[in-house]
Amino acid sequence: MAKFNSTTFGTISGRHGTAVAATTKDGQCILRVFKAPSNPRTDAQVAQRAKFAMVNHDLSVFSEQFKITFGSSRGINQAVSLALANAVTGSYPNFALDYSQLTVATGSVQKAETVSCKSLGSSKVEIDWDATAGTPVRESDAVSVLFFNEASQLPVLKESIALRKDGKAEVTVPTVWAGASVHCWIYFTAPDGSQTSTSQYISQLAL
């Protein structure tokens, strides 16, 4: 806390009445007139705080998965920032997340031209992607898929389920998800694991 030494009042620290002790950039201690914010809770500020709180709350269930998909312990922070910019719908106080616009991985690895998925029953899902589009195509990129059951708030990450050249893969999801509707994303990872593609939302799949 800054301290101001006054020959009249002695040492002053913090706020005293309309004055507050402060430190300038060059380290000099001075007294400044305290001015309360003219409008500390505008409608825009309240709405932005509510939006931020909603996104943080709704994405908190992904915190462990985002450490992997974003390759950082701060992956959740990246996801929240991207969601605030691209995936929030509605207006205050009725904000919601549009999961189709949610980014769960970012990077420069080539994405697939087309992706799709379908339920095979018995807790099996088939993921299909175009393995030929783009120049050049790196066939050895690993394919990973993230599922999210919105009703139960449970995300399931399936890493390296296949290689890009395979064009499709079968994935097992939790048996208790039978009859549920789940969100699906896909992303590709370089062979050395150093980079990923930006994720692609596949669909909301009925199991």
**Model confidence pLDDT, tens digit, residues 87-106:** 999 999 999 999 999 999 99
Residues 115 and 206 in one domain: yes
More confident of the two residues 176 and 18:
176
Residues 133 and 164 in one domain: yes
pLDDT category at 16 given cuts 50, 70, 90 is low
Residues 7 and 96 in one domain: no
Residues 181 and 116 in one domain: yes
Residues 23 and 75 in one domain: no
Of the candidates 170, 177, 176, 183, the residue with the CA atom closest to the CA atom of residue 124: 170
Residues 188 and 146 in one domain: yes
Question: What is the arithmetic mean of pLDDT over 175-196?
Answer: 97
Residues 145 and 187 in one domain: yes
Residues 113 and 207 in one domain: yes
Model pTM score: 0.80
Question: What is the arithmetic mean of pLDDT over 144-166?
Answer: 98
CA distance 119 to 179: 10
Of 55, 88, 103, which residue constitutes the final position of a domain? 103
Q: Is 79 exposed, middle or buried (0-12, 13-18, 19+ CB in 10 A)?
A: buried
Angle at 143 between CA 187 and CA 164, to 5 degrees: 110
Residues 145 and 201 in one domain: yes
Residues 59 and 99 in one domain: yes
pLDDT category at 122 given cuts 50, 70, 90 is confident
Residues 148 and 115 in one domain: yes
Residue 99's domain spans which residues? Answer: 37-103
- Percentages of the chain per state (helix, strand, coil), in multiples of 5: 25, 40, 40
Residues 54 and 41 in one domain: yes
What was the pLDDT predicted at 4?
Answer: 43
What was the pLDDT predicted at 41?
Answer: 80
Q: Three-state SS for 93?
A: coil
CATH code, 119: 2.60.40.10
Of the candidates 50, 114, 117, 112, the residue with the CA atom closest to the CA atom of residue 84: 50
Q: How many domains does the chain have?
A: 3
Indicate if the pLDDT at residue 13 is higher than 90: no
